[in-house]
Amino acid sequence: MAELEIRNLHVRVEDKEILRGLDLDVEKGRIHALMGPNGSGKSTLANAIMGHPAFEVTEGTISFKGTDITEAAPDERSRMGVFMAFQYPVAIPGVTVAKYLRMVVNAHREANGEEPIKLKAFRRQTEEAMELVNIPREFSSRYLNDGFSGGEKKRMEVLQLAMLRPEMSVLDETDSGLDIDALNVVAEGVNRYAGEDMGVLIITHYQRILHLVKPDAVHVMFDGRIVKEGGPELVDQLEKKGYGWIREELEGAAA
């Protein structure tokens, strides 16, 4: 059984059905890439996995570790070990990186019936995590995402992975506009933690990052469904041929 199992998922935003019968399995300890043209519904899927209230599941199920979480609140999902990095992270004025991380870590601890983390322990943990992901110390006193460069946002994402060690992370990547160093930050973070018990669903339409991350499985989305699945060779095929041939295959199958 896959860690994250999505079956016949239909999701509506406002009055529009965006996911239309999507099936997807994401396994523990493996890296899954989700690709697909603009507007095919990738971010919608990520939001539905996290339980964003604007995304209404009208049919189908999402299960995590064998539990049906289709109706679970977002904080319940994150407490169970699902993590999401957003395509467009928001800035939170007045909240520093350190404060934010402490809030997130404590929310998890509280949910698990643990006491808030002691300041000293938190500092040590943060320093270790920052060292692992190669972030300078001054970073922790910056305001969250405020004026962060693309690369710094990525570092923040990976820092959260390092602190929270989620079992499943959904990374919705804006790899456009990121320089190679920023891509490397994400790639290193994913490679470091995915090998341990974390399953990863990395959403991207640029193949560059997938040369650094090496997915175990590749899923291609079209019009609200997964229409093709394969191994890393699929990334090369898409790189050479684009998405047109998949559309033709689909039209051929429907005719």
Ligand X SMILES: Nc1ncnc2c1ncn2[C@@H]1O[C@H](COP(=O)(O)OP(=O)(O)OP(=O)(O)O)[C@@H](O)[C@H]1O
Residues in contact with ligand X by CB under 6 A are 13-14, 16, 18, 36, 38-44, 54, 205
**CB of 160 or CB of 174, closer to Mg ion:** 174
| Binding at 240: pick from Mg ion, ligand X, none (beta carbon under 5-8 Å per type) | none
Q: Which residues of 150-179 are buried (b: 16+ CB within 10 A; e: fewer)?
A: bbbbbbbbbbbbbbbbbbbbbbbbbbeebe
| Binding at 13: pick from ligand X, Mg ion, none (beta carbon under 5-8 Å per type) | ligand X
**Residue 9 CB, nearest approach to Mg ion (Å):** 16
Structure tokens that stand for 115 in this block? 């006491």
The residue with tokens 């990520």 is: 46
**Residue 171 CB, nearest approach to ligand X (Å):** 13
Contact set with Mg ion (CB under 5 A):
42-43
**Residue 39 CB, nearest approach to Mg ion (Å):** 8
| Binding at 41: pick from ligand X, Mg ion, none (beta carbon under 5-8 Å per type) | ligand X
Q: How far apart are CA 108 and CA 96, in angstroms?
A: 19
Q: How far apart are CA 195 and CA 198, in angstroms?
A: 7
**CB of 47 or CB of 126, closer to Mg ion:** 47
**CB of 14 or CB of 115, closer to ligand X:** 14
**Residue 238 CB, nearest approach to ligand X (Å):** 13
**Residue 40 CB, nearest approach to Mg ion (Å):** 9
Structure tokens that stand for 13 in this block? 């935003």
| Binding at 39: pick from Mg ion, ligand X, none (beta carbon under 5-8 Å per type) | ligand X
**CB of 13 or CB of 104, closer to ligand X:** 13
**CB of 24 or CB of 159, closer to ligand X:** 24
DSSP string, 152-178: HHHHHHHHHHHHH--SEEEEE---TT-
Burial of 57 (0-12, 13-18, 19+ CB in 10 A): middle
Cβ atoms < 10 Å from Cβ of 38 = 6
**CB of 63 or CB of 87, closer to Mg ion:** 87
Cβ atoms < 10 Å from Cβ of 2 = 17
**Residue 43 CB, nearest approach to Mg ion (Å):** 3
Q: What phi, psi does 167 have (nearest 5°)?
A: -85, -25
